[in-house]
Structure 1
Amino acid sequence: MLLRTFVMIILTLMILPVLIIIPLSLSSSMAFEFPPPSYSLKWYENFLENDQWTDGFIRSIIVAFFTSIIAMAIGTMASLAMDRLEFPGKKIFMNLMIAPMVIPLVIVGIAMYHSFSFYKMTNTLTALVLAHSIIAIPIVVITVSAKLKGLDRNLELAALSLGSNPIGVFFKITLPLIRSSVVAGALFAFITSLDEVVVSIFVSGATTKTLPVVMWENMRTQVDPTIAAVSTLLIVCTFIVMIAQAVVTRRMGEKKQAEL
């Protein structure tokens, strides 16, 4: 009981500064004041009426969507390779797969900029999707690998002994068993892409700014509660994705128990 109380206090202290953004986004004041003198939706209206904000938001959603798909596919295949295969340089391969999570994002951003500049891909959505995918793949790898460690290999061996090929075993046996972790990895990749700003600054251009980049540039020139409104929208999107992940995982777990 004491440990649970302590954990709740720590979580409250961590989340409270983030939640303060919500009332600030509803403030009628031209500056940040807490508590707000009165409440208004004008900063949300300002967000919706500003093409720079709305275009950045839509662009971020598009990039995050394709990033989650690419990261899910490559991360799942990499996890299977690391768990199922033995090949020379396996440890090096594993370290390379999680390297983008360990290396500082500034260094990753500089490397991305030079690579995409060579192929004249900067200031394109393709470059943003590829850059965000490289950052998100380690998250999928870790999530799926943890599920594969507890998977019963006898089910796959039984399917192979009954005449199924490896591809059929993956889609009919392995994938249904690890589906919850694959979905969770994809959703975490979506959140990672949606909030990414450092690498996006290096890769994006005047016509491909994502919402975090627009927020960063506006903070350098002017600060008004519109940024709080945008931050609130990002918080809401993140919570929706997290709730969706929890619901999907729970339903898949219930379905698996029902089948057993």
Structure 2
Amino acid sequence: MIDRLIRMGLTAWFAAVIVFLLFPLIFLVPLSLNESEILSFPPQRWSLRWYQALFTDPSWSSALWLSLKVAVLVTIVSVVVGTAAALAIVRYRLPGASSLYGLSVAPLVVPGIVIALGMFMVFARLQWLESLTTLVLAHCVVAVPYVVVVAAAALRNLDETVERAARVLGAGPWKTFLLVTLPALRPAVVAGAMFAFFASFDDLIITMFVSGAIETLPLRIWNDLNLRLDPTVAAAACVMVAMSMAGLGFAEIVRSRGLRRAKVESA
């Protein structure tokens, strides 16, 4: 009886937390579908005009595609660098591996404003501001740690004897990694890639410091809120939320399939 009450209480608490987190969407979605040029709730007439403006207005569409471009580049760089760093720390046991791991994930705990200010000072001295390459490098600072954390955790749980068996059978280091280690890490790599993508796509603070005249979607939303209250902001926010949910859902599907495959192989 007590266990049942505890389960019911935890279920109710979990449901309350979910409702609290999703409560803003109850207002955000209708606001994005409001035909009026003034944000008002509830909407008097429904329309998709603000979603159309998001994809057709050059100021909005260019910011959206730029954010996507930067996020894709950051994801590629972060997956390569983060996976290699996790492999070096976990498998090759570099001297001071614990310290290196702590340094690699430090951007996750250091306040974003501190990181942004530090990168602004560095890039300003190097005269690298207002560059797509600079923006990608800056976002990688906060995106790579996600890949390192996820990939390192997966490597620690991966049976190392399988890799040793491949080496004994004649496979070299690269072949072992590509045919044995990487397939086993695929769910973790996908999850890390999703985290890295949205760490870049949603970033505002670092972008404000290093982008200059380059305007990503979060920065476009911020500038628009400072000037006027355009309902296109609500549409852009809904698109960002939908993309986040779709990306995390895809990562969860890959992770579940990986777990099922691992259970089948172990059986």
Q: TM-score range by the shorter chain?
A: over 0.9
Question: C-alpha distance in 2, partners of 1:70/1:50?
Answer: 30
Match 2:218 to one of 212, 222, 246: 212
Change (3 A) 1:177 1:128: same
Could you tell me how far apart the structure 1 residues matched to 2:174 and 2:53 are?
51
Instruction: Kindly provide the amino acid, as one letter, of the partner of residue 63 in structure 1.
Output: V
3-state SS of paired residue (1:31): coil
Q: Deviations over 1:23-43 (max 9, x none)?
A: 110112333222222212222
User: C-alpha distance in 1, partners of 2:32/2:78?
Assistant: 33
Q: Return the match for 1:228 from 231, 234, 244.
A: 234
Query: Secondary structure at 2:105's aligned position in 1?
Result: helix
1:77 equivalent to 2:78? Answer no
Name stretches of at least 5 consecutive residues in structure 2 with no aligned partner.
Answer: 1-6
Find the aligned partners of 1:55 and 1:224 in 2 and give their Cα distance: 17
Q: How far has the Cα of 1:189 moved from its partner?
A: 0.7
Q: TM-score, normalised by structure 1?
A: 0.93
CA distance in 2, matches of 1:169, 1:37: 62
CA deviations 1:2-22 (Å, max 9, x no partner) are: 112321221111111134211
Q: Is the 8 A contact 2:88 2:94 kept in 1?
A: no
In 2, distance between residues paired with 1:183 and 1:241? 10
**Bigger shift: 74-83 or 194-203?**
74-83
Partner residue in 2 for 1:122? 129
What code does the residue aligned with 2:129 have? T
CA distance in 2, matches of 1:163, 1:141: 29
Q: For the structure 1 residues 190 and 175, does the alpha-carbon distance in structure 2 shift closer, same or farther, using more than 3 Å as the test?
A: same
What CA RMSD, in Å, does the superposition of the two structures yield over aligned residues? Answer: 1.6
User: Does structure 1 conserve the Cα–Cα contact (< 8 Å) formed by 2:79 and 2:192?
Assistant: yes
Q: Please give the alpha-carbon distance, in whole angstroms, between the structure 2 residues aligned to 1:91 and 1:147.
A: 16
Identity across matched positions, percent? 34
In structure 1, what is the equivalent of residue 4 of structure 2? none
Give the drift of 1:257: 4.7
**Residues 5-20 of structure 1: matches in 2 within 5 Å?**
5-20=12-27
Q: Given the superposition, is the C-alpha separation of residues 225 and 16 from structure 1 closer, same or farther in structure 2, using an over 3 Å criterion?
A: same
Give per-residue Cα distances to partners, 1:219-247, cap 9 Å, x unaligned.
11111211101101111111121122122
Map of 1:45 onto structure 2: 52
How many Å apart are 1:141 and its aligned residue?
1.0
1:160 is aligned to 167
1:222–1:84: structure 2 CA closer, same or farther, 3 Å change rule?
same
**Alignment: residue pair count:** 259
**C-alpha separation between the residues in 1 aligned to 2:94 and 2:247?**
36
